[in-house]
Every structure is written in C-alpha cells, then in structure tokens.
Amino acid sequence: MQYKYETHCHSNCCSRCAHSTPTELVKAYYSKGFAGMVLTDHFIHGNNCVDSSLTWEAQMRCYYDAYLEAMEAAKGLDFDVLFGIEHAYGRGLEVLCYGIDLDFLLMHPDLPQWDIQKFSQRVHRHGGILVHAHPYRWAGPELQLPLDLLDGIEVHNGGNPPDKNVLAMQLADKTGLIRTSGSDLHSVQEDKLGTAGITLPYRVHTGAEFVDALKRHDHCLIFP
Ligand SMILES: [Zn+2]
Ligand SMILES: [Zn+2]
C-alpha cells in the first residue's frame, strides 16, 4: 500500500494568487485518493494576503487560520493536513519549509529580517527542513538559493516549465539532496490536481513524521 501526499499547494486565505479555500483543497485531494497534503501558503515576503499592519502575533494567527480551516475540513475524513510555508527571497527564489508550527512563527517576530542562513539555522534547530521550490523558475542557472543551507530540491513543480524541472533533477543528482515533487496547486479547478506529490509506504500524521520520512528517503515521487 502506498499513501499519496501533496507537498505544495496554496489556499486563497493566505495566498493572493490562489482561488480555492482550504476546505475545497482538502475535499479535492481526498477525492483524488490522497492520504494527506501539506498546505504551503505564500508567507509574509511572498504573494501573501495577510494584513501586514497587524501585530506579528495577529498576522501569524491569521496565516495559521488557513491551516486550521483545512484541519477542520479533514475531521471525519481519513486525511492528514500538515503545516508548511513557502518563504520568498525575491527574484523568484522560494523555499518550502516543513516541520515547523505556529509556535515557531510566534516565537520569532524578527523572522522577516532573517537571511536564508539564519532562517535555515532556526528551522533546523526546530526540527524542520527546507526544500528549494521550483528551481530556475524565473532565475538563470546561476541564481539559486545556497544549497548547503537546504535539505531538498523540488525536482518536479507543476508550475515550472518542463526544461526547468529537468535542470532541477540534474541539480538533485549532483547534490544528493532530498527530492520532492509538488503540484504548486492554486485552484482545485486546475488539471494538475493530484498529478504530483510523494508516496510513502506508511501514513504520516504530523509535520515531524513527514520530515522524518523525507530524511530517510522513504518516499517515491509522483509525476504527471
Ligand atoms: Zn502563488
Ligand atoms: Zn507555491
């Protein structure tokens, strides 16, 4: 038995560019036979629609509400919703962060000022990991996040042109980092719903379990 997990999707609660609610995402993935999904809305420097005039705590709670809504929608379904973020560094450079939680965000109101080095340090200290989202999407091959600070590479991204995904796979071959596949879904109407993600030979129910599974390379990749 293999269990499917989406690793990269957006809801319209927090991502300005997304069109589906967290509840719609849960129902859509569940109906596609997925065992779970990681909600990875755009974070504060990305295409995020949380009111930036709010206090840090209010912003983070507002951001986390999307995840709570998804959790609520999954109640009674045999489906796990995991928390993640997609953090932006400009010029199309984005990193997916898994294995962190609301406490981590609340604890760090200075997070917006952190460079990738500090972000990486703190996330790792908290037990989380970082995966380079859609390498090369807009940037040339010379422009990428420092791989020594990251744990993985998204070798298939549903929003990346195929040639960029090929380059991402070559990069993963060279580095031996964790590989992930994600659809980068922004609406349940998109054809790419359910065409990407990972499979695991066992269920994971928490961000920490998801991270452990990736670190052990227990997963296989789902490609379109
Ligand atoms: Zn987006
Ligand atoms: Zn994304």
Closest CA to 164 of 196, 136, 141: 136
Tell how far CA 221 is from the center of its chain: 15
CA of 21 to the centre of ligand 2 (A): 15
CA of residue 69 to ligand 1 center, whole Å: 19
Question: How confident is the prediction for the chain on average, in pLDDT?
Answer: 95
- Mean local confidence (pLDDT), 46-64: 94
For residue 35, name the pLDDT band (cuts at 50, 70, 90).
very high
The per-residue pLDDT for 45 is: 85
**If pLDDT is split at 50, 70 and 90, which confidence band does 139 have?**
low
* pLDDT value at 63 more than 70: yes
Residue-level pLDDT at 141: 58
Give the closest ligand to the alpha carbon of residue 133: 2
Distance from Cα 192 to the centre of ligand 2, integer Å: 13
pLDDT(77) > 70: yes
Distance 110 CA to ligand 2 centre (A): 23
To which residue do tokens 């298939």 refer?
156
- pLDDT of 5 > 90? The answer is yes
For 39, the 3-state DSSP assignment is strand
Could you tell me the pLDDT band of residue 91, with boundaries at 50, 70 and 90? confident
Task: For residues 149 and 117, give the distance between their C-alpha atoms in angstroms, rounded to a whole number.
Answer: 7
